[in-house]
Structures are given as structure tokens and as C-alpha cells.
Amino acid sequence: MQIDLPIVLAGLVVGFAVGLTGMGGGALMTPILVLVFKVDPLTAVSSDLVASFVMKPVGASVHLRRGTVDLRLVRWLVLGSVPAAFAGVLLLKSLGGGEDLQNTIKVLLGVALLLAASTIVIKAVVQHRRGTTAVVSLDDITIRPALTVAIGVLGGVVVGMTSVGSGSLMVVLLLLVYPSLRASQLVGTDLVQAIPLVGAASVAHILFGDFQFGLTTSLLVGALPGVYIGARMSAGAPDRLIRPVMVLVLTASALKLLGAPTGAVGAGLLAVLVAGTVYVIGGRMGWWPRGTRPADEPAPVVEALAPAIEAG
């Protein structure tokens, strides 16, 4: 087995970003493997999922120690997500083979990455307008089993097919159903449920995908220390600087995966950069009023999207 040093370095960077910001590894590592290292999309998804399965417990253990995990939600989510993730891999294989399958995965990845980038933007916008919210105990949350299982099923299928979505997508859906949960509670709950979810998808990809042990090992050699270092530094992480960069990276990756020409990608990135700059300057100049919401009033649906990216 040969360790690929450039992939080790890429894993280190992505692992550091995951530990520092909470952004999911699939949204960054998979497109890097496809676009930079020219790895076949199915191989990239398979290997990245296995690597993510090893990395997920790092963040989950922190939240378990802090008591920000609702194990009731975890059980209902896993009930839907684990079989759905396995089924997602089988569905992916049924879509075709060879070049057709790789093209299908590229489109699915592009859509998933645009969703992830959108959740970062939504969070940045509505967080500025968010007022004071009540501190809600996990014991006070009323569980809605049917909707929670449905979230698990949808998230499981997307993760099984693209390796993206175990964080941002599922937290967005959880926030719509449980808007009174704090961001830390949602992040912790999602990270814990993602362990069996990604595990199921990993097993399926090992059996039916194109998992490569050498590629995954190279990723982990860099990613594991990266996650640890990033997590240690996360308390003082400059999110205002890091998350806009992630939006640019995710948007560029998504557009390239969807087949956009280089000129269109550049124009899209420029538009995102200009819009972000205007918003930041406007916030500093007081152009955008902050919202004030009573502490006991639940967040509206649009504001419920705010912490979506925290789990990545």
C-alpha cells in the first residue's frame, strides 16, 4: 500500500476545516478528489464516506460530554437513515454503469454542494437578524417520530448516493421540525446519528461501490490530525473569515461538477464575493436592522435555517 502525499495534505486541510468550523468533510473532500486529483466520482464518494466514518466520532464525543445530544432524536433518525443510506448506494448502482454512472454522481454532487453552500449563506443572513431566544432543555422537546424518521430516510438516501448531506441537509430539516432546539443541540444530535448513518453507507460502498483502501488511508493519515488540531482551535475560530471562503469553494466545486464553463464559474464566484462584501460592509455600517424576538417566541421557519451548517 502506497501513501499518496498530496492526498494526505488535502486530507489534513479538510480535516482541519471540519474540526475548526463543523463543516462536513464530504462537501469538501469529495469534490477535491474529483476535480483536483481526477478520482472517479464513485471511488471518491466510496473512499470519502469510509474516511468520514472514522472522523465523525471526534466531534460527536465532544458533544456527548457536553450533554448537547438528544438520544431520543438519534434513535428515530437512525431508524430511517441507516437502511436508507444502504438503499441509496444500491439505487446509485441501479442508475447505470461506466461513464453514465460517473456523470450522474457528478450532477448529484453538484446539487448537494449548492445546497450546502446555500445553508451557509442563509445562516449568515438570518443570524444577523436573530433576536434573543429561550434556552430550551432537551427534556422539554416533544419528539415527532414520523417526521423524524422521514428526515432520516431522506438524509440517508442523499448521503448514500453523494456522501454529502449528513450534516447540513439533515440539520436544515431538523430545524424545520424542531425550531426551538439550540444550534449546539442540533449539531450534537446530528453528529451522533451520523456515525451509524455514515457507517451504513460505508459498508454498502465497500460491498457495492468502488472503495479503495490506499486512497482512504491516505485521506485519514492527514484528516485525523487535522480534525484534532481544528477542534482544539475551534473555540477561537474566526468563522466570519472561514465560512465565506467555504461558500466560494463549494460554489466553484458545484458549478464545475454541473459542467459549467470556467468563465461561468469565475462570474459566479465574483457575484458571490461581491454580494458577501456588500453584506459585510452593510452590517458594519448598520444598513441591515437586527431583529428582536421575545425569548419565549419560537423562531420562524426562515430563521430556523440559521444554524444549519454547524454540523456540516
Segment among 104-108, 121-125, 143-147 with least mean pLDDT = 121-125
- Amino acid 304: pLDDT: 43
For 182-218, give the DSSP string: -HHHHHHHHHHHHHHHHHHHHHHHHHHS---HHHHHH
Q: Are 14 and 245 in contact (CB under 8 A)?
A: no
- Amino acid 183: pLDDT: 65
Phi, psi of 168 (to 5 degrees): -60, -50
DSSP assignment, residue 166? T
127 pLDDT exceeds 70? no
- The whole-angstrom separation of Cα 158 and Cα 84 is 9
How many of the other CB atoms lie within 10 Å of CB of 262? 10
Q: Are 185 and 307 in contact (CB under 8 A)?
A: no
Q: Are 63 and 188 in contact (CB under 8 A)?
A: yes
**pLDDT tens digits for range 164-208:** 766 666 776 787 788 777 766 777 788 888 899 888 888 888 888
- Calculate the average pLDDT of the chain: 75
- The whole-angstrom separation of Cα 108 and Cα 102 is 10
Q: Return the exposure string of 197-217: e unless at least 16 CB atoms fall within 10 Å of the residue's CB, then b.
A: bbbbbbbbbbeebbbbeebbb
Torsion of CA 242, 192, 174, 145, to 10 degrees: 180
- Amino acid 24: pLDDT: 60
Where does residue 140 rank: exposed (0-12), middle (13-18), buried (19+ CB within 10 A)? Answer: exposed
**pLDDT tens digits for range 218-256:** 999 999 888 878 766 654 555 566 667 667 777 777 787
- Amino acid 303: pLDDT: 43
Please name the amino acid found at residue 105: I
130 pLDDT exceeds 60? no
**pLDDT tens digits for range 9-41:** 999 988 887 776 656 667 778 888 988 899 988
Q: Are 83 and 156 in contact (CB under 8 A)?
A: yes
Q: Are 198 and 160 in contact (CB under 8 A)?
A: no
Q: Are 209 and 89 in contact (CB under 8 A)?
A: yes
- Amino acid 279: pLDDT: 61
More confident residue, 280 or 192: 192
Q: What is the largest CA-CA distance in the chain?
A: 59
Q: Which residues contact 207 (CB under 8 A, 6 or more apart)?
A: none
Q: Are 20 and 234 in contact (CB under 8 A)?
A: yes
- The whole-angstrom separation of Cα 182 and Cα 45 is 31
Q: Are 293 and 154 in contact (CB under 8 A)?
A: no
- The whole-angstrom separation of Cα 311 and Cα 172 is 10
Distances (CA, A) of 240 to 18, 141, 276: 15, 31, 11
